Structure 1
Amino acid sequence: MKRLIAYFKKETVLCVAMLLGVVSMFLVHPDSQYPEYLDYRTLALLFSLMTIMEGFKQTGLFGEIAQVLLTRVHTFRQLYLVLVLLCFFCSMWITNDVSLLTFVPFTILVLELAGLQKEMIPVIVMQTIAANLGSMMTPVGNPQNLYLYSVSGMDMGQFLLIMAPLSVLSFLMILGACMLHKNFTLDARCLKAGTTFSDTIPGMQKKGENSRKDTRKQQNLLLGVLFLISLLSVFRILSWPVLLLIVLAGCLCLNSVLHGNFLPKKVDYSLLLTFLAFFIFIGNMKRIDLVRDFLDQMLTGRELLVSFGCSQVISNVPAAILLSGFTDQYAALLRGVNIGGLGTLIASLASLISYKFFAEKQGQSPKCGTKQRYLLQFTLWNVGMAAALLLAAFMLS
């Protein structure tokens, strides 16, 4: 029982999605239409991109980039901007959760070694916001974008036309928030933090181990090629079955020739299973006239607000999957679930990553501040920026 409770706490969204899927199967019994519920293209793209990002996490590429940038800062404001904007721009391509998994531990170590624990809350809070908002710019920035881009049939130009104005406004707000923070000169302690961090990331080895560095470069090169090939499939130049074959072949090459882990074994399949469960639930609900008519009426003309509000309760990825089955207003839905990543701690599951890292460190070092203070600053900044972006979205619609 304890294991079941622990698993439910860890994978709450998946468990709820599975429960909804199973209950819906009693209302609409499995038949020949079930396979039509699934969006195979989205599932293939998600699997491929998660596999490639897992590879980059293991090689430590993004940690190395951060380490190089860190040696060029001289004031706290510069450090603040580097740590936050790394999350903003990297999340556009490596997803918001991978960005936070990579850079939040880096930030905690840098601030701790530099004696700046009291700055941990504002920096991590702004990193979380930056990752969630930066990821809205591209179809591969987060799972909801990839899904809506796929099911809507829109092209890249249409996607950018919808999301670019909000992304620019988000960048300006984040930049302004960083500039408002007090500034002071840094000692060489931060440089020490940057060099020490290289020993803490899987895949990053001590200096002098040239053979391992060469292998890591080869791994990153192959992963980079696989990522570019994935983009061809995202932009509908390459079919998803071909992409799957190429990615699996690349993983076998990494495993056998370049002595890396077999990456598909490391993928977080809970997200894929969540998508599957919601596909079944939505497919069944669309076949129940009463439910379909109710959701159609509720959504009509309110897509932006309903998708934002729904994201606050069940998070933006499930909200995107659920509501897309009952509306074709994808522009409003896309804006709503992306802005909906701001707000509550569960509005974007990526936000929980940052909070868990902070909570763990706070338990070890009270100098970092309290969890209550973290949640207060997180909520204030999230609500303020969400309100500004919602106003902008209404003006654009």
Structure 2
Amino acid sequence: MDAVKRFIRNEIVLCVAFVLAVISAFVIHPDKSYFAYIDYRTLSILLALMITMAGLQRLHVFRQIGELLVAKMSSIRGVTLILIALCFFSAMFITNDVALLTFVPFSIVTLSISGRKDLYIIVIVLETIAANLGSMLTPLGNPQNLYLYSIAGMSLGAFIKLMLPYSVVALAMLVIATVIRVKSAPVVLTEKSVYERKSRDKKLIAMYVFTFLVSILVVARVLDYRIGLLIVALLAFIFDRRVLRKPDYSLLFTFIFLFIFIGNIKRIPELSGALSQLVKVNEVGVSIGLSQVISNVPAAILCSGFTDQIDKLIIGTNLGGLGTLIASMASLISFKQYSYIDGSDSKKYMIVFTAFNIIFLAVMCALYLLM
């Protein structure tokens, strides 16, 4: 019983999606149309990317890059700027989840050996915002971008052009916030990890760089998604089978259950009509609002079923990742990492997190209204 409660607590979005899919199935009984609900392209790309990122993360590639950059800084402000920049820029390519899983623990260690534990909260909060806002620039950055980009049929260049103004302003705000909140002081980082890579590890890194390039070709619609997934899965199965246990399969099932729920709702005229009218009133506003209570991935899937203004949903669900702790599920990763620290103050963390998220969200919304 405890295991069930723990599973529900850890996978609440998956459980809600499952319940919604089951309830909708009592109204629209399962038939052949169910197979047409699912966006297999998005799921294939997502799985290929998760396998690739899990492999590179297990080999400590991202952390090693972070250590090399941080070691070049001589002030705590410089170190902090690098840590936040790592989350912002890496999230564009390795997803916001992986960026936070990699660099938040690394930041905790770095600040600890620097004797600046007082900066834990502000740095982790800004890293979380950086990962969520950095990830919005590319389809690879987060799951909802990958899904919306897939169904929008837009080019990679058009997607980046759409989100570029928000990314530029977000980066400027992060730099300003860091300069204001972190006073410059000298710092010496004496501890350093030693990475002695065997020949096999070097070959695996090369393999995962290749599978990442394959994933980009699929995203850019140069390579068929079925071929891309087959290449990635086969290489991983043959040369690094353990990594196949690492991907977040619960996220894939969350997508599937939500696809079923939305597909069934669209076949109920009364509900479909009402939701369509609601979403079309203001796609950006509705998707931001929904993200605050159900997170931006489910909000993207839900809203996409009732409007063809996908570009507005891309903006809305990306901006909607700001706000509450569950607006972006990636935010929970950094909160959990902080909560593991001895002497952590969850109440203070939530106050700082909410205050900064509201400020960033307000500026992003103002930018949207001005454009």
TM-score when scaled to structure 2? 0.98
Q: Show the counterpart of 1:191.
A: 190
Deviation by residue 1:204-228 (Cα, 9 ceiling, x = unmatched)? xx45x4xx34332221111001100
Distance 1:245 1:182 in 2: 47
Distance 2:307 2:202 in 1: 45
* Secondary structure of 1:300's aligned partner: helix
Q: Deviation digits for residues 215-258 of structure 1, max 9, x if unmatched?
A: 32221111001100110000111001101111122113422xxx
- 2:46 corresponds in structure 1 to 46
TM-aligned CA deviation for residue 29 of structure 1: 0.4
Letter in 1 for 2:274: F
Look up the equivalent residue of 1:341 and give its one-letter code: G
- The Cα of 1:181 is off from its aligned counterpart by 2.2
> Which AA in structure 2 matches 1:374?
Y
Matched, 1:296 2:268: no
SS at match of 2:190: helix
Q: CA offset at residue 175 of structure 1?
A: 1.1
| Unmatched tracts of structure 1, length 5 or more | 199-205, 256-260
1:132-281 to structure 2, matched below 5 A, reads 132-188=132-188, 190-192=189-191, 195=192, 198=193, 206=194, 209=196, 212-255=197-240, 261-281=241-261
CA distance in 1, matches of 2:157, 2:94: 20
Q: Which amino acid aligns with 2:170?
A: S
Paired with 2:247 and 2:317, the residues of 1 have a C-alpha distance of 24
How far apart, in 1, do the equivalents of 2:23 and 2:127 lie? 38
The letter of the residue matching 1:297 is Q
The CA deviation at 1:394 is 2.1
Closer, same or farther: CA 46–168 of 1 in aligned 2, 3 Å: same
Question: CA, structure 1 residues 38+87, in 2 after alignment: closer, same or farther (shift >3 Å)?
Answer: same
1:77–1:181 contact (8 Å) kept in structure 2: no
Deviation at 1:152, TM superposition (A): 1.1
- Separation in 2, partners of 1:226, 1:150: 19
Residue by residue over 1:254-302, the C-alpha shift from the partner in whole angstroms, topping out at 9 and shown as x without a partner, is: 22xxxxx432222110000000000000000000000011011111131
CA shift digits 1:99-134 (9 cap, x unpaired): 000000001111112211111100000000000000
Letter in 2 for 1:37: Y
Letter of the structure 1 residue corresponding to residue 253 of structure 2: L
Counterpart for residue 391 of structure 1: 366
Q: Distance in 2 between matches of 1:346 and 1:337?
A: 13
Distance 1:113 1:71 in 2: 12
Asked if 1:92 is matched to 2:92, the reply is yes
The reply on whether 1:325 has 2:324 as its aligned counterpart is no
Q: Letter of the aligned partner of 1:281 in structure 2? A: F
Q: TM-score, normalised by structure 1?
A: 0.91
CA contact (8 A) 1:254 1:262 kept: no
Counterpart AA for 1:104: V
**Post-superposition CA distance 1:323-354 (Å, at most 9, x none):** 10001111111111000000000000000000
For residues 78 and 199 of structure 2, the distance between their equivalents in structure 1, rounded to whole angstroms, comes to 31
Gapped runs of 5+ residues in structure 2? none
RMSD: 1.2
Q: Contact (CA 8 Å) 1:75, 1:183: kept in 2 or not?
A: no
Residues 1:114 and 2:114 are matched in the alignment? yes
**C-alpha distance in 2 between matches for 1:102 and 1:182:** 22
Kindly indicate whether residue 315 of structure 2 is the aligned counterpart of residue 340 of structure 1: no
Quote how far apart the aligned CAs of 1:391 are.
Answer: 1.2
Distance in 2 (CA, whole Å) between partners of 1:185 and 1:395 is: 38
Q: 3-state DSSP class of the match of 2:340?
A: helix
SS of the residue aligned with 1:262?
A: helix
Pair 82,191 (structure 1): closer, same or farther in 2 beyond 3 Å: farther
Distance across 2 between alignment mates of 1:127 and 1:250: 33
Q: Distance in 1 between matches of 2:183 and 2:311?
A: 39
Question: Which digits, 9 at most, give the CA deviation of each residue in 1:158-179, with x for residues without a partner?
Answer: 2122111111111111111111
- Structure 1 CA distance, aligned partners of 2:279 and 2:366? 19
How many angstroms apart in 1 are the aligned matches of 2:310 and 2:264?
A: 21
Contact residue 84 and residue 126 of structure 1 kept, 8 A: yes
Deviations 1:63-120 (A, max 9, x none): 1001111211111110110000000000000000000000000011111122111111
How far apart, CA to CA, are the structure 2 residues paired with 1:114 and 1:75? Answer: 10
Aligned length: 371
Q: What is the alpha-carbon distance in structure 1 between the residues aligned to residue 184 and residue 361 of structure 2?
A: 30
CA distance in structure 1 between the partners assigned to 2:357 and 2:198 by the alignment: 40
Tell me if 1:358 matches 2:338: yes
Q: Is the 8 A contact 1:100 1:127 kept in 2?
A: yes
Q: Identity over the aligned pairs, expressed in percent?
A: 45
Q: Which residue of 2 aligns with 1:12?
A: 12
- Measured in 1, the distance between the counterparts of 2:19 and 2:237 equals 35
Matches within 5 A, 1:55-74: 55-74=55-74
Q: Which amino acid aligns with 1:161?
A: K
Partner secondary structure for residue 191 of structure 1: coil
User: Paired residue for 2:347, among 372, 377, 382?
Assistant: 372
Counterpart code for 1:324 = S
Partner amino acid, structure 2, of 1:102: T
CA distance in 2, matches of 1:44, 1:395: 37
CA displacement, residues 339-388 of structure 1 (integer Å, 9 cap, x when unaligned): 00000000000000000010111xx2x2xx51111111100000000011
Contact 1:133–1:338 (Cα < 8 Å) also in 2: yes
